[in-house]
Amino acid sequence: MKILFTASECVPFVKTGGLADVAGALAPVLAKLGHDVRVVVPMYTAIDSKWQHQMEFQLHFDVQLGWRRQYCGVQMLRKDGVTYYFLDNKYYFGRPYVYGLGGDEYERYSFFCRAVLDALPLLDFKPDVIHAHDWQSGMVPALLKIQYAHLPFYSKIRTVFTIHNLQYQGIFGIKEVQDVLGLGDGLWSSDKLECFGCANFMKAGLVYSDAITTVSPSYAEEITTAYYGERLDGLIRARKDSLFGVLNGIDIGEYNPETDPLIYANYSQKDMTNKAKNKAMLQHDLGLKEDPDVPLIAMVGRLTNQKGLDLVDCVLGDVMKENVQMAVLGMGDAQYTNLFSWAEQQYRGKLAARFAMDHGLAHKLYAGADFFLMPSLFEPCGLSQMISLRYGTVPIVRETGGLRDTVLSYNDYDQTGNGFTFLNYNAHDMLSVIQRALVYYTEQRDVIHTLQARGMSGDYSWTHSAAEYVKIYEKL
């Protein structure tokens, strides 16, 4: 099959979150299965010059955005069997950020979505399936159905839209979006593009795609409810027959403790001695007390409400009363950077926090910690808990979304499980499960070793999920 991914970020070129990991890892796996896979992303300034130097200019054309005609250059790079296209317009993407600050996100991603469709005949690539990811690509299925499908070139193209995070929907004024995309008044009813008085790119993707997927079976169930549905649950329930939950994998080549060049020392399930070395070096580098017997809990991720940080805020004092250390790496809301900056001073030698996008340090935390804490309010899939499992770092998570599908709580009676979990979004439930984990660490270390071994031998590859995507494509 000919498959085109459209995504606003993709590893290794540009990444702010899990979407980039998914696009970057799934595409080569599909290519390996023999499909012709191409990926389109915006040509951001943030893309490392190392990659920019390897790109080849293909062609350029003008994109009509309402009354504007905007230049679009297409750069191309081939890697691991996948063809990557980068849509280049300095006005929209030549900025020192990926998302957000300019107030014209609707125009940047309208440009992107229209340019994707316009580029296809020029590149002489007619995909069987366009697989659009998250709201930034939401207008691709919509424009295709509304404005392009009557043209022979486009008439047979089918679309899949994947929700990586329903919280981010791309909500803008209708007038503004009409101004750039020229979508007539008749399209702005609640069964089409209108959403609570606004334009909503995520909704556009959900209404007009042929199939919808999200990144774990549990999240696929959850988003049909009002609690998790982010005001789109009614629409999602209406499209339930076309909705599939496909669990993400991780790049098991990049995240491999046996070969990872970013960690202090490599180790494997068979020989874990060097995991202790990683912990010691990490403690040293982060200014934590160097003690192999103090359990170290890591957190890596965006510092936002989604990640359950208000629970951590609520009981941090109680956690710190335990014989424990914490290491936090993330960027995000000032509320939480303030919290952890304060805590680093308050619990000197016991808690360390770094506020940066630092892939090397992230790997070191996954390798060096004993536990990984992820008490998310909601979690479409979550990659961090799978990475932790692979590094023998025992996850402590809330049972929601993909966390529920990947982490099974240790059961004392039948000795099953690969981590520790709690169900209710409640700080003291989280606290007691952390305390439970710490008791095993100090009193029954063999249980922790069993959980580590089980985590490290799990299959987190894309093999199974890629096959499920192929099935969905074939059905369309």
383 binding ligand ADP? (CB under 6 A): yes
Q: Percent helix, strand, coil in the chain (nearest 5)?
A: 40, 20, 40
329 binding ligand ADP? (CB under 6 A): yes
**What's the token pair of residue 475?**
């059905």
Helices (H), 376-443: 384-390, 401-406, 427-443
CB 411 within 8 A of CB 296: no
Pick the closer one to ligand ADP by CB: 177 or 456. 456
**Could you identify the residue written with the tokens 């007390």?**
289
21 binding ligand ADP? (CB under 6 A): yes
12 binding ligand ADP? (CB under 6 A): no
Residue from 101, 122, 357, 423 touching ligand ADP (CB under 6 A): that is 357
Residue from 1, 2, 12, 17 touching ligand ADP (CB under 6 A): that is 17
DSSP code, position 168: -
Integer CA distances (angstroms), 272 to 385, 452, 460, in order = 19, 10, 20
330 binding ligand ADP? (CB under 6 A): yes
**What's the token pair of residue 72?**
């679009």
204 binding ligand ADP? (CB under 6 A): no
Least Cβ distance, residue 17 to ligand ADP (angstroms): 3
302 binding ligand ADP? (CB under 6 A): yes
Size of the site for ligand ADP (CB under 6 A): 17
362 binding ligand ADP? (CB under 6 A): yes
C-alpha 56/C-alpha 116 separation (Å) is: 18
Q: Which residue is nearest to ligand ADP (CB)?
A: 18
Pick the closer one to ligand ADP by CB: 216 or 283. 216
Residue from 74, 300, 309, 433 touching ligand ADP (CB under 6 A): that is 300
Stretch that binds ligand ADP, among 205-213, 236-244, 298-306, 337-345 (CB under 6 A): 298-306
List all residues 6 or more positions away from 273 whose beta carbon is below 8 Å from its beta carbon. 267
List all residues 6 or more positions away from 84 whose beta carbon is below 8 Å from its beta carbon. 10, 13, 38, 39, 40, 41, 76, 77, 78
Stretch that binds ligand ADP, among 36-44, 184-192, 266-274, 297-305 (CB under 6 A): 297-305
11 binding ligand ADP? (CB under 6 A): no
407 binding ligand ADP? (CB under 6 A): no
C-alpha 41/C-alpha 60 separation (Å) is: 15
Q: Return residues touching ligand ADP (CB under 6 A).
A: 17-18, 21, 300-302, 329-331, 357-359, 362, 381-384
